[in-house]
Amino acid sequence: MEEIPDQGDENMEILQNRSVSCVKGFRAAAIASGLKKSGRKDMGLIVSDVPAVAAAVFTTNQVKAAPVQVDMEHIQNETTRAMVINSANANACTGEQGLRDTREEAERIAEKLNLSPEEVLVYSTGVIGVPLPMETIRSGIDQCIAELASGGDEVHKAIMTTDTREKCIYVRVSLSGKDVDLCGIAKGSGMIHPNMATMLSYVVTDCSITKEMLTDIQKKITDDTFNMVTVDGDTSTNDTATIIANGQAGNPTIDSVDSEDYQTFYDAVYYVTEWLSKAIAEDGEGASRFMEVHVHGADSKADARMMARSVAGSSLVKAAIRGADANWGRVLCAMGYSGASFDQGTVDVAFESEGGSIDVFVKGVPQAFDEERALEILTKDRIRIDVNMNTGSAEARSWGCDLTEEYVKINGDYRS
C-alpha cells in the first residue's frame, strides 16, 4: 500500500524530513546496541535540555510490563527530562528482576545526565518473558548519551519491531505569534487492539503548557485516536502513549481550556495522533488494505465508538475486505454484538474507496447492487465502511486492516 499522505489545514504546516531532535530544546539519539539479531537500530534516547512536563496513557492489560509499572510511578513527577526506548525485548513477565532492571536504566541515565531517576521514563517492546541483557542495555545507554551531541537521530527507526515502515510526522502551528513544533513518532504493526492499542507513541513539542492541561489533552485525544485502532484483537503488555512539552517555543503558557491557544494546540496534537493511528493500522501485520469504519448519526458517542471498533475488529469483516467481498451482513453482525443499542431498521451501510461508493443496506433493507461495481470499489488500497444510524448526531471512526495469510506467517515465526 502507498503511505497515508500528509494533509494539514490552514492553521498547520506539515514539515518534511524532520525528527524529534529538530524540536527546540530536545536532543535524541538512536543506535544499534546488539539487541536485534539483524544489526538494525534498537535503542533510542530523547532528552530535553530543560525541565519539561509529560503526560502518558498506559495499557489496560492487567499483565503490565516492568517499564509500564515504573513509568506509571515516574509520570507523577512534576518534571520529565529523558525517555529511553529499546526494541527486541519487552521486559514483560520478568518479575522482580524486570523491575530492578528498569529502575537501573533510569538511574544510569539520571546519573550520567545529572537528573533524578523520576525524571526518566523507560520503554521496552519486543519478545515477552525474556530478561533484559543488561550488559547490552548498559552499553547501549552509554552509547546513546555519547551520540546525543551528533545533531541527528532516528529514534523512529530504533523502536520498530515487525513494522515495515517508519511512522514519523512533524507539524508547526502558531500560538500567540510564536511557532510551536510537534513531532510524533510511533511503532506498532501487530498485537493491536483498542484500550491502548499495542504500540509505543511519543509526541515531542516545545509548547509551553501546564502538566494539568497536557494530561487533559492526552486523555481526551487517546480515546478517539489510539484507542480506535485495531489490527488483530490483542491488547499488549507494553503499550504506552506519551507527550512531552518543554516550553522552549516561548508561547504564553497554556493553563486553561478556555483559551484559543489551547484549542489550536489540541487540534495539532489530535492531528498528529490521528495520523499515527492511521499509519499503525495501515502497517498492520500482513495487511494489503487499510480500512476505516465511520459510524455517524448515532445516539451517543459511546455507541458510535463501540460499533465502529467492533466492525473494524471483526475477523469476518477483515476477511471480507481481504477478499474484496461486499458482505454487509458481517458489518451488521459486528454492530449487533458491540454492546451498543440501536434499531437495525434505521441503518444505512455503504462501501467506499477512491473507486466510488455503493449502498448495500438502506433503512434496514438490503439493496440490490452490481457485484462487479462492488469489486471495483473494494480492490482499492483504502476502504471505508460508512454506517449512518440516522437517529442522532454522534460519530466515531475506527481504523484497521484486512486479515491475510501473511499475518499468520509473521506471528508463527515471531520468536525465531
> Rounded CA gap, 44 and 53, in Å?
20
% of the chain at pLDDT higher than 90: 72
Note the CATH number of domain 290-412: 3.10.20.340
Q: What is the pLDDT of residues 68-123, one digit of tens each?
A: 999 999 999 999 999 999 998 999 999 999 999 999 999 999 999 999 999 999 99
pLDDT, residue 403, reads: 79
Average pLDDT, the chain: 90
More confident of the two residues 162 and 323: 323
Task: Examine the pLDDT at 416 and tell me if it is beyond 50.
Answer: no
User: In 125-265, at which residue ranges do the beta strands (DSSP E only) sit?
Assistant: 168-175, 178-187, 200-205, 240-245
Q: Which helix (H) or strand (E) holds 112?
A: helix 95-113
The three cell numbers locating residue 410: 509473521
Q: Is 290-412 the same fold as 13-282?
A: no
Domain locations along the chain: 13-282, 290-412
Please tell me the distance from the alpha carbon of residue 71 to that of residue 73, in angstroms, as a whole number. Answer: 5
Write out the three cell numbers for 216. Answer: 487533559
Confidence of residue 260 (pLDDT cuts 50, 70, 90): very high
Q: What is the pLDDT of residue 203?
A: 97
Let me know if 237 is a catalytic residue.
no
What per-residue confidence (pLDDT) applies to 126? 85
Query: Which one of 198, 215, 222, 237 is the catalytic residue?
Result: 198
Q: Closest Cα to residue 94, out of 64, 67, 129?
A: 129
Q: Which has more confidence, 286 or 158?
A: 158
* 185 φψ region: left (φ > 0), alpha (ψ -120 to 50), beta (else): beta
Look at residues 169, 194, 171 and name the one whose alpha carbon lies nearest to residue 184.
169
Encode pLDDT of 120-164 as tens digits: 999 998 888 999 999 999 999 999 999 997 767 889 888 877 676
Fold held by 13-282:
L-amino peptidase D-ALA esterase/amidase (3.60.70)
